[in-house]
Structures are given as structure tokens and as C-alpha cells.
Amino acid sequence: MGGVPLGGHGLRTPQEPPRPVAVSLPGPPSENDRPRPLPPARIGRTSIRPRGRAVKDATELIKALTGLAWPLMAGVALWRLFPLIKEIVRSRGFTIKVGEAELSVQEVSESLIRTTADLQGRLASVRAPAATRVLDSVLWVDDRPENNATEVAQLRALGVEVTLAKSTDEALRALARPNRPFDAVISDMSRWERTRPNRTAGLDLIRELRAQDDPIPVFIYATARALALREEITNAGGTGVVGSSTELFQLLRGVGEFPSQRA
């Protein structure tokens, strides 16, 4: 048997076999050893659980807010600027530069009215016979007087007094006044009468006046439809039918001279 020498005597002791080492292998995990999922994080009382529907709703909300952003910003801007805009409009602060002068819109408008009125008067006087009277005042019948604002302003610039009426009844009442000042009547053809449209209102006015033996000149100033009824209008006693302001001023000049151009 082999051995390990002891001291100097050459004695040998028998070699001991190696001792086995116990190695424990892990067995299957028990219920208590299995890892458990962490609870969801909470902010306050609300659990953070991302879900597909919630993400979709959030996306749609962002899109909706984005679409409202520009209108909202524009509305806020207008709201902040409204006092300034209101003050500018109220004071007619808009200006136009004409040559070296800077004029307000109102001043330019009044200048244009005076210039065009003078031209209208001169054009109307070219072919007119010598006037024996003056056209001092006219009655203008139209349910929408704003449509004739330029012509009315031009007549007034020529010195003619213009009275407005919006219906046949209102016109007849004005004409029935004692010592009426009107030298002529201007009327549209179609207008609202007693809450309903009357497509022959101008013709009805002429017939009513002629039935009362009233000889006052009546001119129909209207659209192409009225021009197509020219013969019927003149047969009813109408003085003239025109579709342009130049023709209208020529007919009015035939009644009398414009006050501002009186020699």
C-alpha cells in the first residue's frame, strides 16, 4: 500500500479515501416561492392602466382641441381688438391718399357724389328743352331705398329735395297732404306690399293716381322686367320707364331744371 512518509522514520500511513460532498439540487418551486406581479402604480386613487380605448380617446381629444385652436385664437384677437375697430369705424378714421392730400373715406365719397351729380345734371341738360319750372322736390317709392342711395344723393347734391316712401299706401298718404311739394314721383315696379310681394306695385300706383285724376309725372325706375312692360305702363298713364340713372336724370330734367344748375 502506498502511504505518506512520517518524520524521518519512513513510516507510511494508509491514504484515506475522499469523503463525498453533499450537493442539494433545487426542487420544483412551491406556491410561496413563485414571484408575484407588482400591483399597478397609483396616483391618488386612479390606477395607471394604459388601455387601447383610452389612448384612442386621448388622441381624438387632442385632434379636436387642435382644430379649435385657430378659431379660438382668432376670436380672442378680435375680442381684444374690437374696441379699437369700433372707435376707428365710429370716427371714420380710414383715409385715402389723393395726390398730396390725405382724405377720409367720407370726404372722398361726398366729393364723388358732387362730381357725378354735376355730370348727371349736365348730361341731362344737353337734350332737354328750355325749362319753364324748377324741379324742387320728388317722391321716391321703393321698399329697399338703399338700392337707390347713390341716385338720391346725386339729386340732393343738385338741390332737389327727395322724400322716401316704402309702399304704395305710404306714397299715397304723402301725395294726399295739403300743399304737397312734389314735382314728380319715382317708383320701382316690384316690392313688398302688406306683408306679401306685389310684382306690379309701380303699375298699381300709377293706376291709383290716374283714377284720382292726378297728373303728377310718374317714372318707373326698375329692372329689365319693367322695361318689357313699357307699353302697359305708358298706357296706364306712366310718364316714362328707365333702367339707368342717366336716362332717369334726363326724364327728370324734362320736368324741370335742377336747382343747383339754375342760371
Residue 201 phi/psi, 5° resolution? -60, -40
Find the radius of gyration of the CA atoms of the chain. 50
Q: At what angle do helices 245-255 and 105-126 cross, to 10 degrees?
A: 60
Percent helix, strand, coil in the chain, to 5, is 45, 20, 35
CA 126 vs CA 53, 120, 250, 253: distances in Å: 83, 10, 9, 10
> In the prediction, which pLDDT does 8 show?
47
Place of cell 348727371: 120
Please list the residues that pair with 163 across neighbouring strands: 139
Q: Residue 42 pLDDT > 90, yes or no? A: no
Cα separation, 222 vs 228, in Å, equals 11
pLDDT band at 124 (very low <50, low <70, confident <90, very high): confident
Top-confidence range, 4-13, 17-26, 124-133, 135-144: 135-144
- Please give the average per-residue pLDDT across 62-69, as a whole number: 61
User: What is d(CA 169, CA 177) in angstroms, rounded to the nearest whole number?
Assistant: 13
Q: How many CB atoms neighbour CB 137 within 10 A?
A: 17
Quickly state the pLDDT bin for 262 (edges 50, 70, 90).
confident
For residue 175, give the 3-state DSSP assignment: helix
pLDDT tens digit sequence for 130-151: 678 999 999 999 999 999 998 9
The pLDDT value given to residue 19: 60
- Residue bearing the bigger pLDDT, 243 or 15: 243
Half-sphere exposure of 127 (CA within 13 A, CB side): 9
Taking alpha carbons only, the member of 93, 83, 153 closest to residue 118 is 153
Q: How, if at all, do strands 191-193 and 184-187 pair?
A: unpaired
Domains in the chain: ranges and CATH: 105-261 (3.40.50.2300)
For Cα atoms 151, 152, 153, give the angle at the middle one, nearest 5 degrees: 90
pLDDT attached to residue 182: 96
Verdict on whether the full-model pTM lies above 0.75 = no
CA 20 to chain centre: 102
Does residue 102 register a pLDDT over 80?
A: no
The residue written with cell numbers 295739403 in the block is: 178
pLDDT tens by residue, 163-199: 999 999 999 999 999 887 899 999 999 999 988 999 9
For residues 51 and 201, the model is more confident at 201
- Going through 20-179 in order, the beta strands assigned E by DSSP cover 42-43, 46-47, 95-98, 101-104, 137-141, 161-165
Inform me whether the pLDDT recorded for 221 exceeds 70.
yes
* Range ranked top by mean pLDDT from 90-104, 106-120, 230-244: 230-244
Residue 254 near residue 128 (C-beta atoms within 8 A): yes
